[in-house]
Amino acid sequence: MHVYRSWLIHPRDITIDLVSVDTAAPVDLMRALFQVAATMKGRKFGRVTLARQGRPVYQMSGEDFTALGQAYDANENPVYLIRTLPESLKRPDGTEAFGTWTGGWLGVLSRQMEDVNAFAQGWVEGEAPARAAY
């Protein structure tokens, strides 16, 4: 992963670029993202772009990114952070990449984990998955 200012000059937007990945489970991608967020938890960002080889795949607000880093640094339950991360992601055009699930806890957990896997696969492949019906 490389982290740099978006467009290499933007003062408040950053890009986290997944340049190379040989073998990584979704949890490995999440851990790396959480560690970057924790390292930068004291900074304020406008937007954080998750890219694959320079191509934007997802984006999230700077506030969500900072909150993620603070929660990870405070030892928040990583399973909770992993399963709720997709809810804060948008596509590069600004539309929601994933929705928020409601209902019974087992059904919600199952759908959230499907979103986590779709997020990870989309980031590795460089393209956000098609919007699911919520």
CA 18, 43, 6, 91 dihedral sign is: positive
pLDDT surpassing 50 at residue 105: yes
CA triple 80-82-88, angle to 5 deg: 100
pLDDT value for 97:
93
Residue linked to tokens 């919007």: 131
pLDDT in tens, 34-85: 999 999 998 889 999 999 999 999 999 999 999 999 999 999 999 999 999 9
pLDDT value for 134:
47
